[in-house]
């Protein structure tokens, strides 16, 4: 298998970390970003010859630009970039102090990262851009309004880039991964169901990336729920 140069934004835990572990085990060269430097260093120690790290908070543009530039300087050509960074809170009371970090991270910071990576791929003339959005972005969710709205934003943004890439004629691929519930720190709330193990989710993400899917629900059973949820008339949706 050809070794790739990969960037993972948000690799310190959960889905991003699992993707790092799997891609690193295949011998790929990987640049990883997150705010928690000690966790980045821990991952580098696992694969010291093939891992480069850069600490950044994606809500801080200068820091983020420097981190991505530093990784690019080390890795040179980037084949694949996966944006996992994200946050969200249960916020039924509409506390703005809770909504704000979600918007800053999942909308403002995320857009900066995605655009920067897309520009790199334009310069290179090729690359595969992947974002972990969410099946939760298909409908407005009153328990987490900013989170569900931010994921709807990401879904539309990825579609825009997919169309842009198609029209440009560049060899740029754009993949939108939409997990259902995954057993990570992010899965919050009572009575969660169909919470999928990170192992299974990350395997299915890697398979979707390999097949250059335009979008994929993970795990696959979440695709069924997503179709039902998306097509449910509001008159019914508002009652459940």
186, 14 Cβ separation under 8 angstroms = yes
Q: Does 204 bind ligand NAP (CB under 6 A)?
A: no
In whole angstroms, the minimum distance from the beta carbon of 161 to ligand NAP comes to 16
Angstrom distance (rounded) from CA 43 to CA 39 = 6
Among 5, 6, 7, 14, binds ligand NAP (CB under 6 A): 14
Size of the site for ligand NAP (CB under 6 A): 31
Mapping DSSP to helix (H, G, I), strand (E, B) and coil, where does residue 50 land? coil
Span 58-77, contacts to ligand NAP by CB under 6 A: 58-59
DSSP H helices, 53-92, are 61-75
What residue has token string 């085990």?
25
Q: Does 16 bind ligand NAP (CB under 6 A)?
A: yes
Among 179, 204, 217, 222, binds ligand NAP (CB under 6 A): 179
Angstrom distance (rounded) from CA 36 to CA 10 = 10
* Residue span binding ligand NAP (CB under 6 A) among the ranges 8-16, 44-52, 164-172, 205-213: 8-16
Closest C-alpha among 210, 211, 225, 180 to residue 198: 180
Work out the burial of residue 13: count CB atoms within 10 Å of its CB; fewer than 13 is exposed, 13-18 middle, 19 or more buried.
middle
Among 85, 102, 204, 219, binds ligand NAP (CB under 6 A): 85
Could you list the active site residues?
147
- Residues in the site for ligand NAP, rule: CB under 6 A? 10-16, 34-36, 39, 57-59, 84-88, 105, 109, 132, 134, 136, 179, 181-182, 184-187
């Amino acid at each position: 298998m050809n070794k790739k140069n990969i960037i993972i934004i948000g690799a310190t835990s959960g889905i991003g970390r699992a993707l790092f572990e799997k891609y690193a085990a295949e011998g790929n060269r990987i640049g990883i970003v997150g705010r928690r430097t000690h966790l980045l260093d821990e991952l580098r120690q696992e694969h010291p010859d093939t891992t480069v790290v850069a600490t950044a908070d994606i809500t801080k543009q200068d820091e983020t630009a420097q981190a991505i530039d530093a990784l690019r300087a080390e890795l040179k050509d980037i084949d694949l970039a996966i944006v996992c960074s994200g946050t969200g809170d249960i916020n039924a009371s509409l506390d703005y102090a809770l909504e704000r970090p979600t918007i800053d991270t999942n909308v403002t910071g995320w857009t900066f990262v995605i655009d920067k990576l897309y520009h790199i791929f334009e310069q290179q003339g090729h690359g595969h851009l992947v974002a972990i959005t969410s099946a939760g972005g298909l409908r407005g969710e009153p328990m987490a309004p900013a989170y569900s709205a931010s994921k709807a934003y990401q879904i539309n943004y990825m579609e825009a880039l997919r169309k842009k890439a198609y029209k440009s004629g560049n060899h740029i691929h754009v993949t939108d991964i939409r997990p259902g519930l995954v057993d990570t720190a992010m899965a919050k709330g009572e009575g969660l169901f169909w919470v999928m193990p990170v192992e299974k989710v990350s395997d299915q993400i890697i398979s979707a990336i390999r097949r250059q899917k335009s979008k994929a629900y993970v795990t696959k059973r979440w695709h069924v729920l997503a179709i039902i949820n998306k097509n449910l008339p509001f008159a019914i949706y508002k009652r459940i």
